[in-house]
Amino acid sequence: MDFSLTQEQTMIYEYGQSLSKTFDRSYWMENAEKHRFPEEMYAQIAADGFIGLMVPEAYGGSGLGMMDMLLFQEGIANEGIPLLSLVVGACMSMSVIGEYGTEEQKQTYLPAACKGDLRFCFAITEPDAGTNSIRISTLGKPSADGRFKLSGRKTYITDAAESDYALVVARTTPHTEVERKTDGFTLFIVDTRAPGIEMHPIPVSIALPEVQYQIFFDDVDLGPENVVGEVGRGFDILFQSLNPERILGGAVCTGIGRYAMKKAVEYANERVVFNAPIGAYQALQHPLARAKTDIEMAALLARKAAWLFDNDLPCGGEANMAKLAASEAGIKAVDASLQCFGGNGFTKEYGIFDLYPLVRLTKTAPINNEMIHNYIAEHVMGLPRSY
Ligand SMILES: Cc1cc2nc3c(=O)[nH]c(=O)nc-3n(C[C@H](O)[C@H](O)[C@H](O)COP(=O)(O)OP(=O)(O)OC[C@H]3O[C@@H](n4cnc5c(N)ncnc54)[C@H](O)[C@@H]3O)c2cc1C
């Protein structure tokens, strides 16, 4: 077993360090507080070839795998500059089109998306279905001429209005009419400016550069050219894209956790209130040491999941466990770091409390940790389904 990174992987992992020399945490935070997309940073990432990391070279990408995407996203999160739009766009949407799209779709969308000239969002969540994606009711109603009319609602869609296209998970057969509950799903590439689409921002109490939207589809006209993969068989593709999302959710948490701990160690080594730096107190050291251990364990699990994914081996168990471990470790790491800063931890100047909402978010989204526990209990351990 070899745990070392190749020279290229090391470069990918360390990319965040060079990016943050120009676009650092304060640049990210300034944009996050205004809910403004960091266009300049995104353009730089695109120019450096990282948006199309998982897109085949023939379509403008780098043709690399999940491990490389994980290293890239963990590396930028290590510097406190994560982008959710890279998870939903660069990974969940673009790599799906690269893998399952038609030749025409790949030529049309991918080279421009790799250059950063067009962006994708990913839309599955619905207000009435929530976690139970099987119950989504957004319907691409097929007509006799082979076209579809898309109607329904999606919610909490990251970066929707700022994106040019959405990869929309819809039903082409309602869940009440299918034989198997996973039948009848279809993935559509939808132009976000098409007639029949309305979007409303959802104000969320967390500083993020990406805005979340509710989207309404009212008889949006789609053709076979908008369908990714087979009509009615979209669930198989969806299933393939959920593991990467969990792996990258984990990467964001381990990275932010490391960033918080780096800041805490610097501070605790300098701050003296009695006779020694506060970092000498075991009461501060031990929670940090524990958090560091949990972060590195979660990161290892995420790498194993990414390796399995790249080798076409089942990775559902590892991807879910990595996301669970990373979200808990990230929260612990930020909390232990915050304690080191005393009152300063809650100020804008030190920016430590600001890290908390993002790591806490990952306990709920993209999938809540209760569902992750359910998956592990049922599919990894063989316990009965609980819901
Ligand atoms: C900032 C943000 C960005 C997002 N971005 C996107 C995006 O880009 N695209 C997209 O499609 N979606 C996105 N989402 C939606 C996100 O994936 C959902 O919010 C999440 O999956 C939870 O669904 P829900 O909010 O409907 O919660 P609900 O389904 O209402 O669940 C509420 C709570 O009930 C519990 N629960 C539910 N089911 C079970 C069960 N079976 N067993 C035990 N407990 C259970 C969990 O604790 C859960 O947190 C985003 C959400 C947020 C907040």
Domains recognised in the chain with CATH numbers? 7-118 (1.10.540.10), 121-232 (2.40.110.10), 236-380 (1.20.140.10)
Residue ID of nearest Cα to ligand 1 atom 21: 367
Name residues contacting ligand 1 (CB within 6 A).
88, 121-125, 130-131, 156-158, 204, 212, 361, 364-368, 370-371, 374, 387
| Ligand 1 centroid distance, CA of 284 (Å) | 34
Confidence of residue 91 (pLDDT cuts 50, 70, 90): confident
Give the pLDDT confidence score for residue 304 in this predicted structure. 97
Per-residue tokens: 206: 């967390």
Per-residue tokens: 298: 């979660």
- Percentage of the chain with pLDDT > 90? 95
Return the amino acid letter for 171.
R
Average pLDDT over residues 131-139: 96
Task: Say if CB 362 and CB 298 are below 8 A apart.
Answer: no
Give the pLDDT confidence score for residue 1 in this predicted structure. 85
Residue ID of nearest Cα to ligand 1 atom 14: 156
Average pLDDT over residues 70-74: 97
Residue 240 parent element (H or E): helix 234-270
Cis peptide before 366, with omega less than 30 degrees from 0? yes
Best probe residue, ligand 1, of 88, 364, 386 (max atoms within 8 Å of C-beta): 364
Query: Which DSSP category does 117 fall into?
Result: S
Q: How far apart are CA 42 and CA 49, in angstroms?
A: 11
- For the cut 90, the answer to whether the pLDDT of residue 240 exceeds it is no
Query: Which DSSP category does 306 fall into?
Result: H
Task: Say if CB 118 and CB 112 are below 8 A apart.
Answer: yes
CB atoms within 10 A of CB 9: 16
350 Cβ contact list (under 8 Å, min separation 6): 263, 267, 341, 344
| Ligand 1 centroid distance, CA of 381 (Å) | 24
Average pLDDT over residues 23-50: 96
Ligand 1 atom showing the smallest separation from residue 124 Cα = 11
Residue ID of nearest Cα to ligand 1 atom 18: 365
| Ligand 1 centroid distance, CA of 86 (Å) | 19
Best probe residue, ligand 1, of 37, 88, 131 (max atoms within 8 Å of C-beta): 131
Give the pLDDT confidence score for residue 149 in this predicted structure. 98
Ligand 1 atom showing the smallest separation from residue 130 Cα = 26
- For the cut 90, the answer to whether the pLDDT of residue 359 exceeds it is yes
| Ligand 1 centroid distance, CA of 291 (Å) | 26
pLDDT tens per residue across span 106-115: 999 999 999 9
User: What's the pTM value of the predicted model, to 2 decimals?
Assistant: 0.96
Please name every residue paired with 307 in a beta bridge, in sequence order, or none if there are none. none
Per-residue tokens: 341: 């800063």
Q: How far apart are CA 94 and CA 244, in angstroms?
A: 12
Average pLDDT over residues 278-295: 98
Torsion of CA 301, 302, 307, 313, to 10 degrees: 80
Give the pLDDT confidence score for residue 325 in this predicted structure. 98
Average pLDDT of the chain to the nearest whole number: 96
Per-residue tokens: 129: 């279905």
In angstroms, how far is CA 246 from the centroid of its own chain?
Answer: 7
- For the cut 90, the answer to whether the pLDDT of residue 339 exceeds it is yes
Per-residue tokens: 324: 């669970």
Q: Which of 241, 262, 203, 210 is nearest to 77 (CA)?
A: 262
Average pLDDT over residues 232-250: 92
Q: How far apart are CA 187 and CA 189, in angstroms?
A: 7
Task: Say if CB 364 and CB 371 are below 8 A apart.
Answer: no
- For the cut 90, the answer to whether the pLDDT of residue 377 exceeds it is yes
Is the Cα dihedral 40, 44, 46, 47 positive or negative? positive
Confidence of residue 300 (pLDDT cuts 50, 70, 90): very high
Ligand 1 atom showing the smallest separation from residue 88 Cα = 8
- For the cut 90, the answer to whether the pLDDT of residue 127 exceeds it is yes
- For the cut 90, the answer to whether the pLDDT of residue 239 exceeds it is no
Per-residue tokens: 291: 């958090």
Please name every residue paired with 170 in a beta bridge, in sequence order, or none if there are none. 186
Ligand 1 atom showing the smallest separation from residue 154 Cα = 11
Average pLDDT over residues 334-357: 98
Residue 358 parent element (H or E): helix 356-361
What is the β-pairing status of strands 212-222 and 197-202?
A: antiparallel
Q: Which of 215, 213, 193 is nearest to 204 (CA)?
A: 213
